[in-house]
Amino acid sequence: MEPFLSVYGHVTVDQILTVRKFPDANTSEDVLTKVTALGGTGTNIAVVAASLGCPTALCAFVGNDFPSQYEDMMAGCGLIMDEFVHVDRYETSTAVVVNDPGLTQKVLFYQGPQGFADDLGIMLTSNARRSEHVHFCTGQPSYYTSVMREVGDSASMAIDPAQESHRIWNADNFPPALALADALFCNNFEAESLRRYAGLDDILDADVGMVVCTRGSDGSVARVGDEVLEIPTVRADRVVDATGAGDSYRAGYYTALYRGHPVPEALVIGSAVASFVVEETGALTNVPTWDAVMERAEPYLGRIA
């Protein structure tokens, strides 16, 4: 199968905890709930997109400790996994995600092999060269920039530094990657760091064809060419856990493009996918069907400002 989308990013085992409040220094706090789940930005985007019917390749490194049941699940949703590589040198990426009652998150993160991909000496470019869209999220910036140079103009490429905007990316490595990209994805918190690295007053002025900035319950804003679009938040039935909401937004966007929707509609459909994911704990525990997504998105498609 030819991939429409290739995704680069972490494949992570998530420990998702809730607490009454975050502990003060040198104190402890009881954990109210604990869920172990497959996660990581690369996994979340790729699995949701593939589950919605978008031919998607996941280009990622994991350790030999990666649980077989998770790999079976990923293959079962239709992911293209010929560039899903096990390595000896690192254990699989791990995240400990702690939520308070207001859904404020604090995260401890072990990078695993995706964060040190240059050291592995393996260039994953086969699927990207055959894709229409390539999405780079968390992982080693220098490795991703090398891949972008090798792929060249054969695909439309997006960078999405996500939570690593604040500590892995910087004024030295972000501008070269941005110069190779066709699109940039971020949220309103990440935008503050990224605009400084690029020397901009507003992240929407980044020198790429499209910038998408999500803003949680305030929806999202996108600049597509010279046009700025206000994308509404699609209402969820309930909000339980925000883990993976932004990743599922991206997956919905790419799937909508694959299914022939124009960019403005695709962004609304991305918001609709995210509205399902926040209804349960874990980024992959409430992946909707395409029909359910479109039913929920339909009332909002005419509200693009």
> Exposed e or buried b for every residue in 90-119, given b needs 16+ CB within 10 A?
bbbbbbebbbeeeeeeeeebebbbbbbbee
pLDDT digits (tens, 9 = 90+) for 260-289: 999 999 999 999 999 999 998 777 888 999
Confidence of residue 234 (pLDDT cuts 50, 70, 90): very high
How far is CA 276 from each of CA 16, 53, 103, rounded to the nearest angstrom? 18, 17, 16
- For 100-140, the three-class secondary structure string (H helix, E strand, C coil) is CCCCCEEEEEECHHHHHHHHHCCCCCHHHHHCCEEEECCCC
Whether the pLDDT of residue 305 is over 70: the answer is no
DSSP codes joined into one string, 193-213: HHHHHTT-SSGGGSSSSEEEE
Residue 204's CB: how many other CB atoms inside 10 A? Answer: 17
Residue 241: what pLDDT? 74
Phi, psi of 246 (to 5 degrees): -65, -35
Q: Which residue has tokens 């939520």?
A: 99
Q: From CA 52, how far away is CA 260, in angstroms rounded?
A: 14
Tell me the C-alpha distance between 164 and 169, whole Å: 6
Which pLDDT value is given to residue 217?
86
pLDDT at 293 over 80: yes
Question: Running DSSP on this structure, what letter comes out for residue 153?
Answer: G
Question: How does pLDDT run across 246-266, given as a tens digit for each residue?
Answer: 999 999 999 999 999 999 999
Per the CB < 8 A criterion, the answer to whether 204 and 191 are in contact is no
**pLDDT higher than threshold 70 for residue 80:** yes
> With 80 as the cut, is the pLDDT of residue 117 above it?
yes
Domains of the chain in start order, with CATH, are 5-10+41-92+117-300 (3.40.1190.20)
Model confidence over 26-72: pLDDT tens digits? 999 999 999 888 989 999 999 999 999 999 999 999 999 999 999 99
% of the chain exceeding 70 in pLDDT: 100
Compute CA 296 distance to the chain's CA centroid, rounded to the nearest angstrom.
Answer: 21
The rounded distance, in Å, linking the Cα atoms of 247 and 88 is 28
Quote the pLDDT of residue 302.
Answer: 81
Mean pLDDT of the chain: 95
Alpha carbons 60 and 159: distance in angstroms, whole number: 15
Residue 5: the pLDDT is 98
Q: Which tens digit of pLDDT belongs to each residue from 206-232?
A: 999 999 999 988 999 999 999 999 999
Q: pLDDT tens digits, residue range 152-188?
A: 999 999 999 999 999 999 999 999 999 999 999 999 9
Strand arrangement of the beta sheet that strand 93-99 belongs to: 31-39, 12-19, 93-99, 105-110
pLDDT at 304: 74
